[in-house]
Structure 1
Amino acid sequence: MYSRTDMVTPYATPWKIILLAETAGELLENNDIVLNLNSSCEVADTNWIKPGKIMRSTVLGTQEAMECIDFCEQHNMQYILFDWKWYGPAFDYASDATKVIPEIDMRKVVAYGKSKNIGVWLYVNHHALEKQASELFPTLEEWGIAGVKFGFVQFKTHRWATWVHDLVKLAARYHLMVNIHDEFRPSGFSRTYPNLLTQEGICGNEEFPDATHNTILPFTRMINGAADYTICYYDKRLKTTHAHQLAASVIFYSPLMTLFWYDRPSFYSGEKEVEFFETLPTVFDDTKVISGEPGKSAIIARRSADEWFVGGITNNKGSDETVKLNFLEKGKEYLARIYTDGDVDIKSKTSVRCTYVRIDSSQTLHFKLKPSGGVAIHILPLLKSEWGKYTKYKGRTI
């Protein structure tokens, strides 16, 4: 990579990609080229690879992990994560990721998770991966671990890029899904090894960016592929509204979707809008960028079967936005569950307003998004017998 190349033909070099489009949104809608320039899937049986939503156990202990498992079961999430320090200090070659700290009974947690259909992921730092991956991965498979979150891996040279890809291959051999964290750049390798569900490589909620930053990401970083933005919800350090965070779960595509990153199960107080996270899938059949401009706003709609999930975010100043519903099937009536930032009249600690209206493909929804705000919408078909339960949307600004 950094020296002259001496080769004998035939010889293949990496692809370099330039994407051109009339709009910023069309760049994102056509980013599958990054995946498709990779080789086809080399994992013979992919039935064990299951996308889903994951919550970190922010306290490293058996009881706390079991409480997270209960929370995930109640809110249609599929995994919990033990982050760094579950095997002690991680940033040292003396660390041993086959040894669990005494505060965690790993086998008990994994067994409890399986009884609730909740899998367990583990963070493993570069040092342990480099030192003992060939020993560690079969051990994790024997423990019943669902996936590994690689931490602070080197990747910038050909040597380390090859090493990371070989780790993903090794993980597949032992039925371990992978999430590569920190500065890793995605290159579409998930097509060849789909156990690589996602990667970070994004300035997400670990750093608490502002809303304007978030409106730039869909048209820059997200062109390269899935990103684990680590969505928070209750943390007071957030620089955006709660509706913005709901919408972010649609904006930032990730087959492994981290929710409630800095939160704990006890932070939840029955907020109605959390139902949006509960119903949200993490993989989709279609994506449409409704509108957007880097630094101003982004509105993206994603379809799963006959349901649509729409996320809209604005910048630090706020904006007036519209959502044309012409992507819906003509002649059908739909229910739109709309989540926006409310005012003091909303008596919850998140102040999210939940609005349910009947809509069809001929209409356009109108929103006045608050500074650093957003809107999340779940659209699902209505039977004719259900029409009378909901008021028809009349064009008012929400």
Structure 2
Amino acid sequence: MLFFRITCLAFLFISCSRGNQSELQTGEKKQGSDSIKKQVVVQSPGGDYDLILGIDSKSESLVYAVRYQGGDIIDYSELGFLSDIPGTEALDLVTEEIVHRQVSSRWKPPYGTKKEYPENYSESLVKLHNAETGQPVYDLRLRAYDEGVAFRYEFPKNNRKITIERELTAFSLLSDATTWTAINSQGEITKAPVSSLKTSGERPILIKYTDSLYLAIGEAAQINYSRMKLNSHGTHKLRADLGGTVSFDEPFVSPWRFVMAGKTAGEILENNYLILNLNDPSEIGDTSWIKPGKVIRDLTLTTDGGKAYIDFAVKHNIQYVIESAGWYGNEFTVEADATTATVDPNRSTGPLDMAEVIRYGNEKGIDIMVYVNRNQLEKQLDDILPLYRSWGIKGIKYGFVRTGDQYWTSWMHEAVRKAADHKMVLSIHDDYRPVGYSRTYPNLMTMEGIRGDEESPSNAHTLKTMFTRMIAGAGDNTICYFAPRVLKMGSHASQLAKSVCIYSPLTWLYWYDRPETATLESGGAGGNKPVIREVPELEFFDKVPTTWDDTKVIHSQVGELGTIARKSGRDWFIGTINGETDKDITIPLDFLEPNTNYNATIYFDDPEIPTITHVGIEKITVNSASSIKRNIKGNNGLVIHIFEK
């Protein structure tokens, strides 16, 4: 049952604007709760979370705190801006009104990690105005979900252009806790105490308080606002670091800042639909044209090669072939023309008859996508979208995009909306990170912002990615299988496991590989020309879907071990990735339907198997009382397909 504990319905706030830059304590000792006055408490419907808003009478700062299951997880922390907002410099802000509501609903996405998502939260909208002039200044919208808490700043009325120079939002932790983050979206994720984060780190950031308490801090719905990163500010505090100033002259809202908690990192990952819930519902009425699936890229950039990839896609249940970088010329020049199929001679001997490849794909039931670099997107987007639709192209991978500051972030999301108008599914590659916008525009199906297989991450690093970056949403990892780097990263069975563990509604497979029938004298990425061999375990890639009806995280030892089980129809697919040390693992199958027998096919690394990939296959019978126990070697993996007898 919902209730709000509000100690005062009209209470005094001191602004945190340019004229008043007093700071909270930096975390060397815990903020004293006796200095916090005039609190508003928003409690989640299930009672696990309290989001508390108040005023610190010592620092004269607007502050908030977060409690989880009765204990503090975020101590009182600053809110507000350094800005040119008029009428707030060293003046009092008072609440004009506090509006409360509660939402309890469920919604079905066109694709996702679950068949439907719950959306249950309590909300308070605190409207602030200037005490002297009576003019509205900004509002704070506070939400407590069953999965976490979130808040954002809102500017409902503006009579002039406003510029936010810096955001004062902070996250005061209770100790110098362990974190996992990276300095950029494709950088190495490192484990370090809060106090050492002197360079701004990526969000979401994962924080470990104890073996049974984890936090994640990040942002959602960052659509027309500079990106937030996080750095240390004192021993125990993280502070928002924006990727530039933010200006606006009309009603405006900031992104959400969220805090999630769980007993394990896996519990937070299971609940990551919170980021989707913090975005607006879909603006696309008919989503029937938005088709998830597996993708393979044509490295040859020739007509015959494209047809060979299409034939392979038919044989191996792959839904898309994408014409790779270079199909329209040198992508890194502004002169290249993405309205013509004029291959880059440094990448392919050609010729590429795009119309014939598209026609052949239609005949075989395979859709064609294309890659387009930002050099062409920025000058030709409005031309290529209707053109590609007229050609019969179904999707685009936007490459090397510019994001981070307000201008390019806004431009990028406008490009998503324009693509939806022309029924194009999208992957955004390189520096874009998910913010939940796929709920509002589900044609944005996947995105990079990930240290994927192009960077040859070790299994241990992938196990950090799974429980940090993947909290934010889908990740275009570009799984490879026959390239030499596979053994540098881990093993072939752990590559199979990535198709389950790294969620992506568009999943790129065989990133550096080509069918045997594709012309070897043409094309290649970075000099790679590995050939796809018809080894038995490819049947797993053939069968694995890319979207799911349910998801359960079984093991979540960050950097050490991860197991995720996902349901599609009545089948379950399980992926396990192991870190550097050998482990004895147990995978309980209590999520299966009771009183039902299933077949299980297990794929695992075995150096004795006489194939080039050394993957063994075992078939067993299981039920909901079964557990699968295995000794898994360091840097190995396994996958399991479970289906009814």
**TM superposition score category, shorter chain reference:** over 0.9
Match of 1:129 in 2: 377
Match of 1:395 in 2: none
* 1:165 matches 2:413: yes
**Structure 1 residue 4, shift from structure 2 partner:** 2.8
> Larger relative CO (CA 8 A, sep 6+): 1 or 2?
1
Superimposed CA distance per residue, residues 70-129 of structure 1 (whole angstroms, 9 cap, x where no aligned partner): 000000000011111111111222221001116210000000001111111111111111
Superimposed CA distance per residue, residues 300-330 of structure 1 (whole angstroms, 9 cap, x where no aligned partner): 0000111100000001233221100101111
Match of 2:221 in 1: none
* 1:184 matches 2:432: yes
* 1:219 matches 2:467: yes
Aligned residue among 305, 308, 328 for 1:67: 308
Q: Could you tell me how far apart the structure 2 residues matched to 1:73 and 1:4 are?
A: 57
Q: Give the match's secondary structure for 2:466.
A: helix
Q: Could you tell me how far apart the structure 2 residues matched to 1:290 and 1:5 are?
A: 49
Q: Could you tell me how far apart the structure 1 residues matched to 2:614 and 2:424 are?
A: 39
**Structure 1 residue 5, shift from structure 2 partner:** 5.6
From the two aligned structures, give the one with the greater strand fraction. 2
Q: Could you tell me how far apart the structure 2 residues matched to 1:256 and 1:377 are?
A: 21
From the two aligned structures, give the one with the greater helix fraction. 1
Q: Give the match's secondary structure for 1:18.
A: strand
Match of 1:374 in 2: 637
* 1:340 matches 2:604: yes
**Structure 1 residue 218, shift from structure 2 partner:** 1.1
TM-score by length of 2: 0.58
- 1:339/1:376 contact within 8 Å kept: yes
* 1:250 matches 2:500: yes
* 1:310 matches 2:582: no
* 1:174 matches 2:438: no
Amino acid at match of 1:351: H
Q: Could you tell me how far apart the structure 2 residues matched to 1:209 and 1:320 are?
A: 23
Q: Give the match's secondary structure for 2:310.
A: helix
**Structure 1 residue 45, shift from structure 2 partner:** 1.5
Counterparts of residues 82-231 of structure 1 (less than 5 Å): 82-101=323-342, 103-231=351-479
**Structure 1 residue 19, shift from structure 2 partner:** 1.1
Superimposed CA distance per residue, residues 130-163 of structure 1 (whole angstroms, 9 cap, x where no aligned partner): 1010011101101110100000111101111111
Cα root mean square deviation, aligned: 1.3
Q: Give the match's secondary structure for 2:586.
A: strand
Q: 1:48 to 1:3 in 2, by over 3 A?
A: farther
Q: Could you tell me how far apart the structure 2 residues matched to 1:320 and 1:141 are?
A: 52
- 1:51/1:283 contact within 8 Å kept: yes
Superimposed CA distance per residue, residues 169-189 of structure 1 (whole angstroms, 9 cap, x where no aligned partner): 000111111000012111000
Q: Could you tell me how far apart the structure 1 residues matched to 2:482 and 2:585 are?
A: 26
Match of 1:385 in 2: none
**Structure 1 residue 268, shift from structure 2 partner:** 3.0
Match of 1:351 in 2: 614
**Structure 1 residue 60, shift from structure 2 partner:** 1.3
Q: After TM superposition, which residue ranges in structure 1, 4 or more long, deviate above 3 angstroms?
A: 5-9
**Structure 1 residue 270, shift from structure 2 partner:** 2.3
* 1:57 matches 2:298: yes
Q: Could you tell me how far apart the structure 1 residues matched to 2:634 and 2:431 are?
A: 29
Aligned residue among 537, 541, 550 for 1:277: 541
Q: 1:163 to 1:117 in 2, by over 3 A?
A: same
Q: Could you tell me how far apart the structure 1 residues matched to 2:542 and 2:84 are?
A: 52
**Structure 1 residue 3, shift from structure 2 partner:** 7.7
Superimposed CA distance per residue, residues 35-82 of structure 1 (whole angstroms, 9 cap, x where no aligned partner): 111000001211111000000111111111110000000000000111
Amino acid at match of 2:339: T
Q: Give the match's secondary structure for 1:272.
A: coil
Match of 2:551 in 1: 287
Q: 1:188 to 1:5 in 2, by over 3 A?
A: farther
* 1:31 matches 2:31: no
- 1:84/1:124 contact within 8 Å kept: yes
In the alignment of these two chains, the number of paired residues is 380
Aligned residue among 83, 93, 112 for 1:4: 83
Match of 2:587 in 1: 323
- 1:126/1:150 contact within 8 Å kept: yes
Amino acid at match of 1:180: I
* 1:264 matches 2:514: yes
Q: Could you tell me how far apart the structure 2 residues matched to 1:319 and 1:84 are?
A: 41
Q: Could you tell me how far apart the structure 1 residues matched to 2:576 and 2:353 are?
A: 42
Q: Could you tell me how far apart the structure 2 residues matched to 1:73 and 1:381 are?
A: 25
- 1:210/1:316 contact within 8 Å kept: no
Q: Could you tell me how far apart the structure 2 residues matched to 1:135 and 1:58 are?
A: 25
Amino acid at match of 2:626: Q
Match of 1:387 in 2: none
Q: Could you tell me how far apart the structure 2 residues matched to 1:3 and 1:88 are?
A: 46
**Structure 1 residue 370, shift from structure 2 partner:** 1.8
Q: Could you tell me how far apart the structure 2 residues matched to 1:339 and 1:130 are?
A: 45
Q: Could you tell me how far apart the structure 1 residues matched to 2:312 and 2:306 are?
A: 10
